Amino acid sequence: MAAYRFCRSDDIGLLTDALNRCWSPYFPDEPAMTPATFKQSIRDRQVWCSSCMVAFSGADPIGVLIGAKRASGTLIHRIAVHPDHRRQEHGRHLLTSLGSKLAILGPPRIVAEVPETLDAACGLFSASGYVEEAHLTDYVLSGEERDTDERRTPNAERRIPKEKALFVDDPGAGEIAAVVQSAEADRYVIPVTVDDLTANGLLEEGNPQTCWKRSVETLIARKEHVAGLAVASDERIEAYVLYERCGVDPERGEARGQSSGAPDVEVVSLRSLIEDDGACLRQLLDRLRGQGSWTLRFPKVHPAEFSPGFLETLGFRPAGRHLLYAAHARSN
């Protein structure tokens, strides 16, 4: 007979073992979980051990649920049942138990962001009373789609007049970045950090529908890994893009292999603060791609953030989708 229990802060070793036994068989290409990488998820995603559960058969973990909690709600970050113990209601029991606990302690909102290709996971949430609330689209902008004129022009010929540029250190990108005056108006492309945007109240004003990994809380927690560019006038920041290099796994802090010589970049925040039909955002994306033949990835975009048509005008194309499931915690 199976046993279930919630975890404590001293159960990180148990949770690590449970993930490697129950989650890893479905994702064999992922690196094994370690206590260090689990602690990183606590810092970055606000995973709470008290919102995590393990199912046992004897002394062996046969199921695991990882919950991340914020004032806005709880995210089912991961849930898995060992392949030998599927179809025995373990996954549903884990979800029901967490819902009963949150009905008392709060917050009552529970969400999950599930790749639509994982039919079994989608079926589990639907059968457990979760409602499909929205589709989160993964977008890609390939570095090979840069403007023809820019591809033809050698780097040595793309010079910036001295009176229109100065150079500053961009610690987030780990390189020297140019502050360039736009030819259209008195606007500049400048390096920007999470702290800069926070100090100006620009992150807090972001869209509340943003997915968990690109939320304000995650950006602040991972600010040392996040670089940025902004279009600024003499008076204000008019648009910005924040990004991470995909050579480092956002949860594990480990190097990833690249299928090509050029690294990918993950856009973690993209925002225009003026009505210009996306002109400033296009300028920022072109500048970002101009730093290398990168593929830009913009994951889990809620339709309330950007319409598909608008992102297509910026050069993005859909490359996958997650389903956002939501439920209200209740006692059973």
Which residues, in sequence order, are bridge partners of residue 317? Answer: 140
* pLDDT band at 209; cut points 50, 70, 90: confident
| Fold entry, domain 3-107 | Aminopeptidase (3.40.630)
Average pLDDT of every residue of the chain: 86
The pLDDT of residue 195 is above 80: yes
Which residues, in sequence order, are bridge partners of residue 106? Answer: none
What is the residue whose two structure tokens read 């991961």? 78
Q: Which pLDDT value is given to residue 203?
A: 87
The pLDDT of residue 182 is above 60: no
- Other CB atoms within a 10 A radius of the CB of residue 11 amount to 17
Q: For the segment 255-275, what is each residue's pLDDT rounded down to a tens digit?
A: 444 444 556 899 999 999 999
ω into 107 cis (within 30 of 0): yes
| Fold entry, domain 139-321 | Aminopeptidase (3.40.630)
Rounded CA-CA distance 123/176 in Å is 49
Q: For the segment 78-92, what is each residue's pLDDT rounded down to a tens digit?
A: 999 999 999 999 999
Q: For residue 132, which of 326, 268, 332, 303 has the smallest C-alpha distance? A: 326
The pLDDT of residue 153 is above 80: no
Rounded CA-CA distance 110/114 in Å is 13
Q: Which pLDDT value is given to residue 332?
A: 72
Residue with the larger pLDDT of the pair 80 and 175: 80
Q: Which pLDDT value is given to residue 104?
A: 97
Residue with the larger pLDDT of the pair 49 and 142: 49
Q: Which pLDDT value is given to residue 55?
A: 99
Q: For the segment 14-71, what is each residue's pLDDT rounded down to a tens digit?
A: 999 999 999 999 999 999 999 999 999 999 999 999 999 999 999 999 999 999 999 9
Q: Percent of the chain, pLDDT > 90?
A: 74
Residue 231 has φ and ψ, to the nearest 5°, of -95, 125
The pLDDT of residue 222 is above 90: yes
Q: Percent of the chain, pLDDT > 70?
A: 81
Question: What six digits make up the tokens of 197?
Answer: 């945007």
The pLDDT of residue 247 is above 80: no
The pLDDT of residue 158 is above 90: no
Q: Which pLDDT value is given to residue 145?
A: 53
Torsion angle of C-alpha atoms 84, 86, 90, 91, degrees rounded to 10: 120
Residues of the chain with CATH 3.40.630.30: 3-107, 139-321
Q: Which pLDDT value is given to residue 40?
A: 97
Q: What does the pLDDT average to over 277-306?
A: 91
Q: What angle do CA 199, 251, 299 make, to 5 degrees?
A: 75
Q: Which pLDDT value is given to residue 172?
A: 44
* pLDDT band at 1; cut points 50, 70, 90: confident
Cβ atoms of residues 327 and 316 within 8 Å: no
Q: Which pLDDT value is given to residue 262?
A: 56
What is the residue whose two structure tokens read 């229109």? 164
Q: What does the pLDDT average to over 7-15?
A: 98
CA distances from 114 to 36, 43, 120, 323 (A): 25, 22, 10, 5
